[in-house]
Amino acid sequence: MSIKHFIIYGLFIGSFPLFSQEILTTDKAFELALEHNYGIKITNNTVEVAENNTSILNSGYLPTLTGNAGANYNLDNTEAKFSNGETTTLSGAESSNYNASLNLNYTIFDGMGRQYNVQRLKEEYSLSKLEARETIENVVLQLFTIYYSVARISENTLALEETLTISKDRLKRAQYQFEYGQDTKLGVLNAQVDINNDSINLINIKQQLKNTKRDLNVVLGAQMQEDFNVETEMDFLLQLDKDDLLSKTKANNVSLLQADKNISISEIDIKSSKAQYLPTLGLTGSYGWNKSNNNAASFVSEVTGDGLSAGLSLNWNIFDGGSTATQIKNSKIILENQKLVKEELEITIERDFNNAWDDYQNKLVIYNVQENNIRTSLDNFNRTEEKYKLGQATSLEFRQAQLNLRNAEISRNQAKYEAKIAELTVLQMSGELLNVDF
């Protein structure tokens, strides 16, 4: 078997599993990514941590209760002289002491510090949810960028398979013409060269298709165990309104919402810094138990006692050397910077939205032009093929018409999926990406 026939045979056999491959729909891909993508899993855990931090258990409003216990044992040699002149000598005298206590501490007032801390934690929780949404939007855009790359390469693969089929038919015709003396051996050799080139192109794109499917499977958390196909039919959301989307961008863009949260956090930091000027009032309470077993040299052999105690403590840092005043000044500067960041972000995002919208519109136009180009190239190919069969067109003219049709199909596929990705980019900027049906 020649190399040429081996290549063609391998491509023919390799096409059979396509009929049994699973179809991964856009809806299914979206669901799998939301559930199994590792980036989304990690960001969800981060949100859970931020939510836990907002609990009353982390607020500082609850009292603290600690328990302590201890025991001591002594073995002493003691010589005791009493006031009446008597002397007692003890060798290996044993004594012991046991104690236990419960201690309660509660901050009654801390200058509103706890209140501002709770507010800050809640704002950080809201910010973490926005960051999670941003991660999900980025993953979804990445998902469909790769998904539609698989779709584009799949359609290009079909175009190259069609090209190879046409080249094989051309080789048969060239062989017949040579056998009947209507053409030279050069026509057969040219057809064989073109088949080899088409076969190599097909082998390369099939490998590219496998690699891109693996990339897609990574985004899906490796949930697709077997080879699969994707949908190549899709619709554009042609009812999109630019002014409406621009308004949604200004109101719902995740980066702008994050900037608002950062401003709120900075405002809370200023209040929290000012709270350090106020005093702190605390309540303490304890219950203690103590037992002592004394040696024979002691006047009392055993002492046991317990009792309650309570107290208030006031702490007021009247002057801290100016550190609080400096902290307040710096917090105000940070707040001003956050506001400036948002102002710049508003300008940048509006520009990026307009660029993305124009890019989307241009790609739709290009796609429509490429659709028309397909019809023109197909008509040209059919006419050239008829002329070639009648001997009115050369094999080179036929080959050029064939390549023109193939290139038109590939360009159309490129334009179609680039327009779809541009559409998704516009939706992401406006905060609507997760609200559309895939």
Q: What DSSP string runs through 101-114?
A: EEEEEEEEE-TTHH
pLDDT of res. 342: 97
Q: Is the pLDDT of residue 126 over 80?
A: yes
Mean pLDDT over each residue of the chain, to the nearest integer = 90
Q: Is the pLDDT of residue 18 over 90?
A: no
Q: What percent of the chain has pLDDT over 90?
A: 75
Q: How confident is the model at residue 346 (pLDDT cuts 50, 70, 90)?
A: very high
Question: pLDDT tens, 179-190?
Answer: 888 777 888 999
430 neighbors 254 (Cβ within 8 angstroms): no
Residue 59 is given by DSSP the state S
Cα gap 160→201, rounded to integer Å: 7
pLDDT of res. 21: 76
164 neighbors 199 (Cβ within 8 angstroms): yes
Q: Please, which contacts does 251-257 make with residues 24 or more away whose CB atoms are closer than 8 Å?
A: 251/431, 252/430, 252/431, 252/432, 253/349, 253/429, 253/430, 253/431, 254/130, 254/133, 254/134, 254/137, 254/431, 255/134, 255/345, 255/349, 256/342, 256/345, 256/346, 256/349, 257/130
Cα gap 195→206, rounded to integer Å: 16
Q: Is the pLDDT of residue 11 over 50?
A: no
Which range has the worst mean pLDDT, 17-21, 24-28, 73-77, 111-115?
A: 17-21
Q: What percent of the chain has pLDDT over 70?
A: 93
174 neighbors 240 (Cβ within 8 angstroms): no
Cα gap 151→222, rounded to integer Å: 19
Structure-token pair, residue 282: 């605390």
93 neighbors 77 (Cβ within 8 angstroms): yes
Give me the residues paired with residue 309 across strands.
286
Question: pLDDT tens, 196-208?
Answer: 999 999 999 999 9
Q: How confident is the model at residue 296 (pLDDT cuts 50, 70, 90)?
A: low
Phi-psi bin for 150: left (phi > 0), alpha (psi -120 to 50), beta?
alpha
Question: pLDDT tens, 347-388?
Answer: 999 999 999 999 999 999 999 999 999 999 999 999 999 999
pLDDT of res. 45: 97
Structure-token pair, residue 296: 């024979």
Domains in the chain (CATH in brackets) are: 3-36+112-279+322-435 (1.20.1600.10), 63-109+280-315 (2.20.200)
Q: How confident is the model at residue 20 (pLDDT cuts 50, 70, 90)?
A: low
pLDDT of res. 8: 39
Q: Is the pLDDT of residue 9 over 50?
A: no
Average pLDDT of 148-159? Answer: 97
* Of 88 and 291, more confident: 291
159 neighbors 409 (Cβ within 8 angstroms): yes
Q: What distance lies between CA 68 and its chain's CA centroid?
A: 47
pLDDT of res. 17: 42
Q: Is the pLDDT of residue 283 over 60?
A: yes
pLDDT of res. 297: 61
Q: Is the pLDDT of residue 10 over 60?
A: no
* Of 97 and 356, more confident: 356
Q: How confident is the model at residue 212 (pLDDT cuts 50, 70, 90)?
A: very high
Q: Is the pLDDT of residue 404 over 80?
A: yes
Three-class DSSP category at 432: coil
Stated pTM of the model:
0.86
Structure-token pair, residue 7: 């290549």
Q: Which of 71, 67, 68 is nearest to 97 (CA)?
A: 71
Q: How confident is the model at residue 6 (pLDDT cuts 50, 70, 90)?
A: very low
Question: pLDDT tens, 43-60?
Answer: 999 999 999 999 999 988
pLDDT of res. 279: 94
Which secondary-structure segment (H or E) carries 176? helix 113-179
Q: Which of 209, 212, 232 is nearest to 160 (CA)?
A: 209
Q: Is the pLDDT of residue 13 over 50?
A: no
Question: pLDDT tens, 254-277?
Answer: 999 999 999 999 999 999 999 999
Tally of CB atoms within 10 A around 121: 20
228 neighbors 213 (Cβ within 8 angstroms): yes
pLDDT of res. 157: 97
Q: Is the pLDDT of residue 141 over 80?
A: yes
Which secondary-structure segment (H or E) carries 98? strand 87-109
Q: What distance lies between CA 117 and its chain's CA centroid?
A: 28
Q: How confident is the model at residue 12 (pLDDT cuts 50, 70, 90)?
A: very low
